Amino acid sequence: MDLILRGGRVIDPSQGLDGIRDVGFANGKVAAIATRLDSPSATVRDVSGLIVSPGLIDLHTHVYWGGTSLGIDAEEFCRTSGVTTAVDTGSAGPGNFMGFRKHVIERSEVRILAYLHVSHAGIYGFSNTVMVGESEDIRLMDPVTAAEVADRNRDVIVGIKVRVGRHASGDQGVAPLTIALQVAEETGLPLMAHIDEPPPSYEEVIAMLRPGDVLTHAFRPFPNSPATAQGSVKPAVLAARKRGVLFDIGHGMGSFAFKTARAMLANGFAPDTISSDVHALCINGPAFDQVTTMSKFLCLGMSLPDVIKASTENAAFALKRPELGSLKPGSVGDATILSVDEGKFDYVDVVGEHLEGRQRITSHGVVIGGRWWHPA
């Protein structure tokens, strides 16, 4: 073995595992998990008192640094947030994806996967000074090239992305979603749909999504909240989950409210996946990073194993990449070292509500491809 993590509390929902174990890595993969592992050739790192989880997957990020104004540096972000797989959701479209691949994805030690935007240039008009919804102009929808680019880059493209809502698609309603679904059908890939304020309505969007498709910004505030004013879950939302639609957080700068989350959790409707939607306009708040987003759900009452599951096993399921999000022997050799700190911590959502939490999840480093990848 090349590396052994010694004596941590291993929480791996994919195996139903929660206990003190050693985790060994060899040849870039998980080699073994046992009460005690010894190997004369291995570097041993003592992680006793800390938590070892599968490498965290942030299902919604924007990491086309330098290619779009909302892009952040994936490696810098992942060093502090415990993320080993950053999934970029539509920063690039078919017109500029190869630049994203050559200059960012292929140079990154952190794994970057991507949902390809159906818009020709992706999310190109998103900054502090310019805010143009790329789906407002139907002429920018590029389904033919999107299908071609997705087919040529299946090693890193995991799905198709579209943004609809008053800010993203103006008066186009669900027309961009209709086009994106055709690309998803043509390529056999899942779709991730962004939703902001109406039009279209939350119900209109989820009615069009297929099993395995992802609705991101799923716990957004009013308007287009999944909860009613009385605090129940809207029937269309329950029907969509039963049909197999996946609900992702995608916190971001405008898409997560404590009020919504409390209502959904009180009704037993936890998110399928927890993601940060980290980008240049929310990395300094209110989203900050993946572990902060996870911490909010811990403080709202989700159990630690369920919070980890929503950032590992469930995210891998959404990506159709079962080799990720697990510490089963033979899986990709990624792990995240975490602690849960006790104290008083201030959390804020996108509408300015503050929550005083008693716990905070902190990242202490990651293993990527079987190698310790320490915080800067």
Rounded to 5°, angle at Cα 288 from 276 and 340: 85
Binding residues for Zn(2+), as ranges, are 60, 62, 161, 194, 217, 277
Does the pLDDT of residue 375 top 60, yes or no?
no
Alpha carbon of residue 11 to chain centroid: 19
Class of the CATH domain delimited by 56-319: alpha beta
pLDDT by residue (tens digit) across 105-160? 999 999 999 999 999 999 999 999 999 999 999 999 999 999 999 999 999 999 99
CA distances from 135 to 162, 183, 301 (A): 8, 15, 37
Phi and psi, residue 363, nearest 5°: -90, 140
Binding residues, as ranges, are 60, 62, 161, 194, 217, 277
> Where along the chain do its domains lie?
56-319
CA distance 216 to 200: 15
For residue 188, is it left (φ>0), alpha (ψ between -120 and 50) or beta? left
Using an 8 Å Cβ cutoff, are 214 and 195 in contact? Answer: no
Does the pLDDT of residue 196 top 70, yes or no?
yes
pLDDT of residue 79: 87
Using an 8 Å Cβ cutoff, are 88 and 62 in contact? Answer: yes
SS3 content of the chain, % helix, strand, coil (to 5): 25, 30, 40
Of the chain, the end-to-end C-alpha distance in Å amounts to 25
Q: What is the pTM of this model?
A: 0.98
